[in-house]
Structure 1
Amino acid sequence: MNNKGLIINKSYDPLILRTVLRRYWWWAALLVLTFAACAWVYLRYTKPTYESSMVLQLGDQDNAKDVLNIENINSRENDMSGVVELLRSELLFEKALNKLNLSVSLFSRGEILTEEKYLSSSFNIQPYELSDSSIINQEVAVVSKGRNKVELSYMKGGEKQRVEGMLNEHIQNSDFDIVVKAADPDNFHKVSKENDLFFIFNGREQLSNRLIKDLSVAAIDPNAKTISISFRGHNATLCRDIVQAVSESFIEYDEEQKRQSSENIISFIDAQLDSLSSEVRIAKDSLIEYQRRSQLSDPENVGVSINENANKLQDQLFELEEEYNGLLNVKRKLSKSPNRLEVYKLLPELLGRSYEASLAGHLRELHEFLERKEDLLFEVTENNSEIEIINQRITSKLNIIQRSIAAIEERFSRNISALRAKIGVLEGEAFELPEKKMEFNRLKNIQELNEKYFTLLTEKKVLYEISDAGYASTNRVLSKAKINLAPVAPSRNFVYSAFTFFGLFVGFGLILFRYLTFNEINTVEDLEQILPSQASILGGVPLFKQALEYSQLVVADAPKSIMAESMRKIRTNLNYIHPNYQTIAISSSISGEGKTFVALNLGGIIAMSGKRTVLLDLDLRKPKVHLGLDVDNRVGMSSLIVNQATLEECIHKSKVENLDFITAGPIPPNPSELLLSKRFQEIVAELKESYDVVIIDNPPVGLVSDGIKNLTDSDIPIYVFKSHYSKRVFANRVKELFTMQQLKSLNVILNGVKSNRSSGYGYGYGYGYGYGYGYYDNGYTEEPEAKRNKWYQRIFKRK
């Protein structure tokens, strides 16, 4: 019988569903726990990813626009996309990395994870020189050899290089010159023993390419001109510092670009003014040369005093302009955040100037402040409070100097303007002389035309300088970058939820699969659904909860138990089926379904009713009756059939009055021929004359066909199924018995039915069935209950 076909339950059956849930609910629970443990392992050994972000707002303040009604060329109205692309660019990102101390990266490698120890390492590397660029991006292992000794090792040219040195001292070889610093040598030694420490010389381009992919820049609100800058990485402090450095680099770069743009425009205007100044000077010289060559009386004679006065005024104007240009040069150099050397070089330029006394002292003090700052930077960082105080003093002194320059510049401008006005008056008077006025006027017109263009450009320059002075970039940080110690990935809640959901999904998927492929018979209702209508159900036999190695006659020991009552009910039902029955043949589909147990105890109950009953063990391949009734099996049915023993020699008495039995006897080589022989029929006939009821324990007809004839010849054929053991496909064998073997009737008993009543009785034993002949290998043979109860079955024991 082929019992290995896959059964698919296509309709909803609440009985099957309840059984499957009751039996396999722990699958889902176990899978949830398993996947939760996997989630814990995943979170434990996955490096967390942190994120730091900030919000930057772009802004322009153009005060000159309201006054002069002109817009500054640096004004940024609709350039959000350009700014976003600039923030994403490698150009700006490399500028940001230059602000950070990332020339060397420090790492600590544990058994599984490797962690970058940015600003949190037990040691630090201060590089002074890197002679061989081939070791860039190569691991350099750092091992503590004692309190103050350290060993460095790295691969170069396929060979391992080693160099030893002392902590906090220069370690040099042909490849590099560095200092390994450790504030706490004991802690460094301890950490070196626990983890593998190493560092990497970073190449700027490689470092930028590695980190820039984790930078994210996005416009938040184009109307408000707000931009979000965020960075993700495995070190929260590094994420904060990179975001902060990117924003600072952008603000500085933006201001520098605008300043350079303004300088280029002013430089262009200055170049044009220089050219026109030459033209004006040539025109003036031509006019004077004409007057001299023409011997104009008025300019030479009458206008002598005018010319003298004009020359004196011109000399004064030249001196003022020369000092004014020097002042502008000082102002230009101070506007670029000068260093100490640049300030020092300005002092000689003030010698002999009228404003030397006003500015020299302030510049010397500024030089001292800058010199003091440079000295301090060798000892402390930029964020030190003393550096901040020095910066405040430098800023204050620069403001004082700039205000002084502005005041001097204003005074020079007024004096120059006054001198030019006087010169103009004198020249006007001289040029009004009547002699040769036509030529004089022509030359004068040329001069005035050049001066007009010169004045126009000067006005434009002044307007642009005013516009540029009134324009200021107001880029500001609305939300500062912070160290966020809560990782954004992996999300603990998401991972646990996803793994738990997947565990539930797989668990309930398996339960659904068990429901769809459920192939067990558990209740009498299951039998009613799958058996043909010709089959009658006699009843159920409760599960005997004590583990039995072999079938036993339990009703004799507990005649008032549920087991005995169930057998009495079956005995009563037999009377309805065949009031005068004399032969009962019992079989099943496979081994372990309890046909021998039913035969023994049904025979005991019938015998208790006063009927002389004999039980025949015809399971000649693997007999069990003699084991359950504790007798030897030297002679039995096989001996009787072959006439090697008599009935008197084979019949045994049981402990139940009126119940006798005959064991199977020695196992024959041809059991099928013996059961189909005429001698067997004669033996049954003889027994029927001596006993009221003959019960035949047949071999399982689902495996062999030996007992089918006994089923057809008996008064009451009984077919045994076992709850939670027999498969639904076994019902096909019952159908075959009706269709192919011409059975007129068949009576079914469901063995091992679980009861909620705490009687202690039922039927729970089982045994394997097979002889090594090959034809009992059906795919459903099970081991005894005592052997099958593994530790996990005891934990998840079904109730």
Structure 2
Amino acid sequence: MEEQFEGNDIQVFDFKAFVYRTISYWKWFVLALVVGVYIVYQQNIRREFPYTLSASLTVQDDKNPLFTSNTSLVFNYGGISGKVQEVLLNLKSRKHHEKVVDSLNLYLSYYTQGRFYKTDIYGANPFKFVGLNNAYQVIGQPIKIVFLNDTSFELSYNFGELQQVTLQNFQNKKIKTIAVTNPVFSEVYKFDDYIDLPFFKGSIEKKEEITISNGNEFFIQYSAFDATVSSFVNNYAVTNQQNSPLLVTRLTNKNKAKIVDYINTSVFILERDQLQRKNQYAINTVAFIDKQLARVKSQLNRKADSLNDFMRSNKIFDLENESSLLSTKIENYNEQKEKLNQALMSYNLLKNYLLTSNDFTNFSAPALQGIDDANITAGISKIVSLSVQKSTLESSVRDNVSVFSDLNNQIESLKNVMLENINSVKANIVYQIQSINSKIYSSESEFSTLPENQQKLEAIEREYLLSQSTYNLYLAKRGEADLIKASNISDIILIEPAKDIGQGRNTVNLNIRYVFALVAALIPILIIAFIITFFDNKIHTPNDLSKLAKLPLLGVVGKNNSENNLAVFNKPKSAVAEAFRAVRSSLQFMYKKHELQGTKTVMITSSVSGEGKTFCSINIASVFALSGKKTVLVGLDLRKPKIFGDFDIDNNIGAVNYLIGQNPLEEVVQKTKVNHLDVITSGPIPPNPSELLIGEKMDRFIEELKANYDYIVLDTPPVGLVADALELIEYADASLYVVRQDYTKKEMLSLINDKHKKGEISNISFLYNFYDQKGKYGYGYGYGYGYGYGAYGNGYHENLDDKLSIFARLKSVFKK
């Protein structure tokens, strides 16, 4: 047992007290739970669940069957797998979603007011707002429309206390703010009338096929373009199984018609862009050939005019066979030379394109026409594939990632290899041209034997035929390019479009929220109870005393509900009165045990003021007096006298007057309304109270009291504040140390416990005051001290609660 008290400075968390404290907060828990359940219920009934619809599409490698081995207008970059990844990234890119939002004008919404929230009526709106082109419209603020009749409506808005509003131009996407001069507005318009407000410009057109009842209310609201796009991007998903050309797109939104239009339009725009890009090679080729045709046609016309003029002036209408054969031979050489020059020009264009261009996703037709070297064609395909991959990643990946550096390095390496190949091919072409020039020169020298006019005619005719051959070649190429463009089809096939077939909303079990409400109500209670219990250092039950000190517990006194401290006198049948009778019995047993004869003295003290020391002194003295014993209550708390007020006596004269020799004992004793009970108040506050209580006069004072009374009750100062009570213990046969429930701190008992262990104090016991069995800590006490809380509590004692009204009882419950 000794170790138990010597280690009482070590604080151990009282889990039992924590549990009971938590239970004592049940009223707050119930209140928090009710509030939480109400909030969750209100949130649940206001929750608008969205829909989720999907569409399926596949990516095919549809090669144009009209392509020939010599047609180098389109390259296959990466095969079907590369195309699937390209389509997937395009579907996820913000740029693609911006096109869809712009196409459907989804930044403009129509609503009706429901019970708890505005409902999006996209696809079912009975009217349409046609905004003025290039006008700034207010964003984030609803405009109210009320139909008055078949021809007119009321437009109104209320901006509240806003000083300015934000506007956006949905053509160039610029945003600005303007000051609000008239925050509240209402005006009647006719359908198709132009509405010219500072932040809302356009007209409202009524849909003829829809009937609207008069008085129906609708709302129009513009949303910021970027925010609208972000909302769709965040709720749009594309999935693809590995090594599969099948893609599934899903969109979640609160309006099914909007989901259907958005998904299908998204796929349509993707098909359109992919086909347009696929046709771009043919488009570029046609543009290039048209320029060349114009040039060659002009040249051909000049040659024809020159030939006709020469033959007309020289009257030449036929050529000899020999001259014809020679001309044919030279013409063939010139055709070969022209093709070689054309090829040389193509390689020069391709070389210049590689050296000057930074984007190779779309090789222009002039850079590709006439390129038939397999290595160079393969290199172009690889550069296109890498460039497309880079372009696709730029729309969805940050600029500073390492993948761009790797792609750039690969493209640069391919460019260097291709430039070397081009130089080699060009050198070969130049050599062939030189060889043909030599043959032409040899053939032309044969004309020296022909007449001069015939030679000139042959030269002019040869130039004419060459130009005509070139013109016919370009015409054939142009027709081929037009045929390719007309026969191209998209590689994207929509297998299953998005469709409203009665799908239900996405449902979530909202009942789980009530569990969260329960936890949310419980956790703060647990935290508060834990913190208070952990830092709590007050005594809450009589059991706490046995853990803190070796002093015995003499009695337990309940909560005083009397109008003053005379609880025993005013309500002799109360539980408090019975408790003090039990204390009297315990004191008499203690006196008998120590074989005390004659006058008995009892001293009452405590740790600090406010623990009920005076209350206990008055009532202990009262129970002794009511037993027929002559008793005196002496107020020795010279610094803070109290006992006189409850007896309706004054404090003008008292123990101080006797101790300083001013008045004899019979003059300081005052009678009370309690039979056999006298009171000696402390009297005026002296300058030296401690010195008055330890002198010889104090010994004489006690001796005189013993000569005149059977019981002496000493009301002393708190030992935790002054040392006066410790000096008075020698005069007491028994000492009571008052401890008040939920008030006395545990560490306050260390002084008296230490004195008792050292043997400096004896015959001292605890008196537990203000015990409340219904309080927050009414657990674990069953020793039956004081009888008032045992079997005698029902029937023999006055039940004060019975005298309270129902309202007072409820009020007392919530005060606890």
Residue type at the aligned position of 2:54: M
Matched, 1:727 2:742: no
8 Å CA contact retained: 2:13, 2:534: no
1:154-188 deviation per Cα after TM superposition (whole angstroms, max 9, x unaligned): 89776549784444352455985513649676653
Give the TM-score taking structure 2 as reference length: 0.56
8 Å CA contact retained: 2:736, 2:765: yes
Matched, 1:170 2:173: no
Aligned to 2:232: 215
Residue type at the aligned position of 2:535: T
Shift of 1:608: 7.7
Aligned to 2:101: 97
Shift of 1:510: 1.2
Shift of 1:516: 0.8
Which of 124, 129, 133 lines up with 1:126 in the alignment? 129
Query: Structure 2 vs 1, CA of residues 170 and 469 (structure 1 numbering), >3 Å: closer, same or farther?
Result: closer
Query: Structure 2 vs 1, CA of residues 16 and 105 (structure 1 numbering), >3 Å: closer, same or farther?
Result: closer
Residue type at the aligned position of 2:716: N
Distance (whole Å) between structure 1 residues aligned to residue 683 and residue 668 of structure 2: 20
Query: Structure 2 vs 1, CA of residues 487 and 647 (structure 1 numbering), >3 Å: closer, same or farther?
Result: farther
Aligned to 1:527: 545
Aligned to 2:689: 673
8 Å CA contact retained: 1:546, 1:761: no
Using the TM superposition, name which of 543-552 and 467-476 deviates more: 467-476
Query: Structure 2 vs 1, CA of residues 63 and 796 (structure 1 numbering), >3 Å: closer, same or farther?
Result: farther
Residue type at the aligned position of 1:213: S
Which of 533, 541, 546 lines up with 2:556 in the alignment? 541
Aligned to 1:246: 266
Distance (whole Å) between structure 2 residues aligned to residue 514 and residue 545 of structure 1: 26
Distance (whole Å) between structure 1 residues aligned to residue 609 and residue 10 of structure 2: 25
SS in structure 2 at match of 1:475: strand
8 Å CA contact retained: 2:144, 2:219: yes
8 Å CA contact retained: 1:52, 1:240: no
Distance (whole Å) between structure 2 residues aligned to residue 544 and residue 454 of structure 1: 121
8 Å CA contact retained: 2:61, 2:491: yes
Distance (whole Å) between structure 2 residues aligned to residue 492 and residue 211 of structure 1: 28
Root mean square deviation, CA, Å: 6.2
Query: Structure 2 vs 1, CA of residues 152 and 278 (structure 1 numbering), >3 Å: closer, same or farther?
Result: closer
Distance (whole Å) between structure 2 residues aligned to residue 234 and residue 186 of structure 1: 25
Aligned to 1:568: 585
Distance (whole Å) between structure 2 residues aligned to residue 124 and residue 118 of structure 1: 11
SS in structure 1 at match of 2:568: coil
Query: Structure 2 vs 1, CA of residues 198 and 494 (structure 1 numbering), >3 Å: closer, same or farther?
Result: same
8 Å CA contact retained: 1:618, 1:637: no
Aligned to 2:12: 11
Aligned to 1:662: 678
Using the TM superposition, name which of 48-57 and 705-714 deviates more: 48-57
Spell out the pairing of 1:29-68 with structure 2 (5 A cutoff). Answer: 29-35=30-36, 50=50, 52=52, 54-60=54-60, 62=62
Which of 681, 700, 704 lines up with 1:686 in the alignment? 704
Query: Structure 2 vs 1, CA of residues 745 and 486 (structure 1 numbering), >3 Å: closer, same or farther?
Result: farther
Which of 564, 568, 573 lines up with 1:557 in the alignment? 573
Query: Structure 2 vs 1, CA of residues 30 and 551 (structure 1 numbering), >3 Å: closer, same or farther?
Result: farther
Query: Structure 2 vs 1, CA of residues 86 and 633 (structure 1 numbering), >3 Å: closer, same or farther?
Result: same
Distance (whole Å) between structure 2 residues aligned to residue 733 and residue 260 of structure 1: 99
Residue type at the aligned position of 1:537: P
8 Å CA contact retained: 1:593, 1:726: yes
8 Å CA contact retained: 2:633, 2:712: yes
Aligned to 1:82: 86
Aligned to 2:215: 188
Shift of 1:721: 0.6
SS in structure 2 at match of 1:215: helix
Shift of 1:711: 2.9
Query: Structure 2 vs 1, CA of residues 688 and 570 (structure 1 numbering), >3 Å: closer, same or farther?
Result: closer
Query: Structure 2 vs 1, CA of residues 32 and 9 (structure 1 numbering), >3 Å: closer, same or farther?
Result: farther
Spell out the pairing of 1:354-373 with structure 2 (5 A cutoff). Answer: none
1:595-644 deviation per Cα after TM superposition (whole angstroms, max 9, x unaligned): 344435544666688865443344564534763xxx43147971773528
Distance (whole Å) between structure 2 residues aligned to residue 24 and residue 143 of structure 1: 52
8 Å CA contact retained: 2:556, 2:767: yes
8 Å CA contact retained: 2:555, 2:582: no
Distance (whole Å) between structure 2 residues aligned to residue 163 and residue 34 of structure 1: 40
Shift of 1:256: 4.1
1:695-736 deviation per Cα after TM superposition (whole angstroms, max 9, x unaligned): 212243434555443234322222111233322132145357
Query: Structure 2 vs 1, CA of residues 666 and 730 (structure 1 numbering), >3 Å: closer, same or farther?
Result: closer
Residue type at the aligned position of 1:57: L
Shift of 1:585: 0.4
SS in structure 2 at match of 1:684: helix
Shift of 1:130: 2.4
Query: Structure 2 vs 1, CA of residues 637 and 541 (structure 1 numbering), >3 Å: closer, same or farther?
Result: farther
Aligned to 1:391: none
Shift of 1:60: 0.7
Distance (whole Å) between structure 1 residues aligned to residue 494 and residue 537 of structure 2: 73
Matched, 1:21 2:30: no
8 Å CA contact retained: 1:606, 1:613: yes
Residue type at the aligned position of 1:178: S
Which of 244, 248, 253 lines up with 1:224 in the alignment? 244
Distance (whole Å) between structure 1 residues aligned to residue 58 and residue 145 of structure 2: 49
Spell out the pairing of 1:266-277 with structure 2 (5 A cutoff). Answer: none
Distance (whole Å) between structure 1 residues aligned to residue 752 and residue 594 of structure 2: 18
Residue type at the aligned position of 2:193: H
8 Å CA contact retained: 2:60, 2:245: no
SS in structure 1 at match of 2:122: coil
Shift of 1:687: 1.9
Distance (whole Å) between structure 2 residues aligned to residue 254 and residue 645 of structure 1: 119
1:384-426 deviation per Cα after TM superposition (whole angstroms, max 9, x unaligned): xxxxxxxxxxxxxxxxxxxxxxxxxxxxxxxxxxxxxxxxxxx
8 Å CA contact retained: 1:583, 1:716: yes
Distance (whole Å) between structure 2 residues aligned to residue 258 and residue 577 of structure 1: 117
Shift of 1:509: 1.5
Q: Give percent identity, aligned residues only.
A: 17
Shift of 1:99: 3.9
Long gaps (5+) in structure 1:
1-6, 192-196, 300-439, 766-784
Residue type at the aligned position of 2:191: N
1:309-350 deviation per Cα after TM superposition (whole angstroms, max 9, x unaligned): xxxxxxxxxxxxxxxxxxxxxxxxxxxxxxxxxxxxxxxxxx
Distance (whole Å) between structure 2 residues aligned to residue 712 and residue 41 of structure 1: 71
8 Å CA contact retained: 1:558, 1:564: no
Distance (whole Å) between structure 1 residues aligned to residue 594 and residue 84 of structure 2: 96
Residue type at the aligned position of 2:24: R
Spell out the pairing of 1:320-399 with structure 2 (5 A cutoff). Answer: none
Using the TM superposition, name which of 113-122 and 543-552 deviates more: 113-122
Shift of 1:646: 1.9
Matched, 1:794 2:813: yes
Which of 494, 515, 518 lines up with 2:536 in the alignment? 518
Aligned to 1:343: none
Residue type at the aligned position of 1:670: P
1:433-477 deviation per Cα after TM superposition (whole angstroms, max 9, x unaligned): xxxxxxx9xx99xx99x9999999989998997999697635335
8 Å CA contact retained: 1:167, 1:180: no
Which of 681, 698, 704 lines up with 2:716 in the alignment? 698
Shift of 1:101: 4.9
Distance (whole Å) between structure 2 residues aligned to residue 612 and residue 479 of structure 1: 107
Distance (whole Å) between structure 1 residues aligned to residue 212 and residue 10 of structure 2: 72
SS in structure 2 at match of 1:79: helix
Matched, 1:584 2:602: yes
Distance (whole Å) between structure 1 residues aligned to residue 663 and residue 114 of structure 2: 83
SS in structure 1 at match of 2:608: coil
Residue type at the aligned position of 1:632: D
Aligned to 1:781: none
